[in-house]
Structure 1
Amino acid sequence: MNASKRPVMLAVLLLLTALSPTSGAAPVDTPSPAPTDTCPVCGMFVAKYPDWIATVRYQDGHAHHFDGAKDLFKYLLDLPKWAPGHQAGQIAIIAVTDYYSVTRIDARQAWYVIGSDVLGPMGHELVPFETREDAQAFLQDHAAKRILHFDDVTLKLLGDLDAGRFPQ
């Protein structure tokens, strides 16, 4: 390649890299909840809140749906309470709904914002995003307090959210 074409090729590669969705969680295919499916944690009808749906699909194909990431994490962090007889190793997919695109994404790769002025079906929520950049933009636009990743979420943090406290 001659030297005069290198800057153009570099610019094209940078543009394609910037436009590719490789920096966040990959979209995942999960079953949709039926109108009668209820959240195993709070009992709410999940299909009423399509913008907030979270799903755990087990290897045998059955799924549990949640009305938001907060109840999903309560379930995952205390599986014996919410799903007796189920083991974490039996879980095939954990998905949350990206706030901006309203698509299901891998919960383990997602970014979560807490302490914003946006409420979910159960009040203060972990608002999921595919990319850290989207989470950062939301944090600034919605007076939020903190960005978390999957492994940062604890039962104490969930209790704080329920109480309207947002730890830094």
Structure 2
Amino acid sequence: MFKSLKLTFFVFIGVSLFFYSCTTSTKQEENTESTEQKYEWTDCQNCGMPTNDFPNWQVMLKANSENLAFCAPRCMMIHLADSSNNVANAIEKMEVTDYYTTQKIDGTSAFYVTGSDKTSPMGKDFVPFSKKEDAESFMQEHKGKKIYSFEEINKDVVVSELK
């Protein structure tokens, strides 16, 4: 009886390990797949930092049929202010991350708060919001200086707000 119980125990352990190893390798393969997709744009076009390290700040920009990733709106604004790269006039799509909802929103219709006590990984930044009311609320709560629409942000604004 003891031998059959022992045999049953070892068979159970063996079968359990077999199924565990099969599901573990599948999960690892799935994780590898999703990681490769997640890290498609790993480095910030402006500063070189990995954009996926800062999902609540990251920006995705498509210009000249090229996808550009940025770790924060600040880096994107600096890149756009550099007229030598011709990106500002060729924007096809821009997604920034709304500070309150952490959802990706259209960056060209967003409202950006500057001068607040909240900083991005790069320091002073343009904090994006989909709704002007949210930007106003954030500005009061976090001592913001000014709210800009995307159209109002130019090289002079970038230089003055980020110094």
TM-score (normalizing by structure 1)? 0.68
Which residue among 62, 68, 71 is the counterpart of 1:67?
71
Q: Which has the higher helix share?
A: 2
CA pair 33-128 structure 1, distance change in 2 beyond 3 A? farther
Q: Please identify the structure whose Cα radius of gyration is greater.
A: 2
Equivalent residue number for residue 47 of structure 2: 42
Instruction: Describe the SS at the equivalent of 1:143.
Output: coil
Q: Which amino acid aligns with 1:77?
A: A
Q: Distance in 2 between matches of 1:50 and 1:98?
A: 11
Please report how far the alpha carbon of residue 107 of structure 1 lies from its aligned counterpart in structure 2 after TM superposition: 0.7
Match of 1:105 in 2: 105
Change in Cα spacing, 1:79 to 1:40, as seen in structure 2 (3 Å) is farther
Q: How many residues align?
A: 127
Q: What TM-score does the superposition give when structure 2 sets the normalisation length? A: 0.70
Provide the secondary structure at the position in 2 that maps to 1:113.
Answer: strand
Per-residue deviation at 1:128? 0.1
Partner in structure 1 of residue 59 of structure 2: 54
Shift of 1:75: 1.7
Two-structure CA RMSD over aligned residues (Å):
2.1
| Aligned counterparts of 1:36 and 1:154: Cα–Cα separation in 2 | 25
* Paired position in structure 2 for 1:77: 81
C-alpha distance after superposition, 1:38-87 (max 9, x if no partner): 11111111110000011112474x41110111111122232534x7xx68
Summarize the Cα distance change of 1:87–1:158 in structure 2 as closer, same or farther, 3 Å threshold. closer
Q: Return the alpha-carbon distance in structure 2 between the equivalents of residues 92 and 34 of structure 1.
A: 21
SS at match of 1:121: coil
Q: Which runs of 5+ in 1 are unaligned?
A: 1-31, 164-168
Q: CA deviation at 1:152?
A: 1.2
Give the number of the structure with larger relative contact order, counting CA–CA contacts within 8 Å between residues 6 or more apart. Answer: 1
Percent identity over the alignment is: 30
The answer (yes or no) to whether the contact 2:135–2:147 under 8 Å persists in 1 is yes
8 A contact 2:113–2:146 mirrored in 1: yes
Match of 1:15 in 2: none
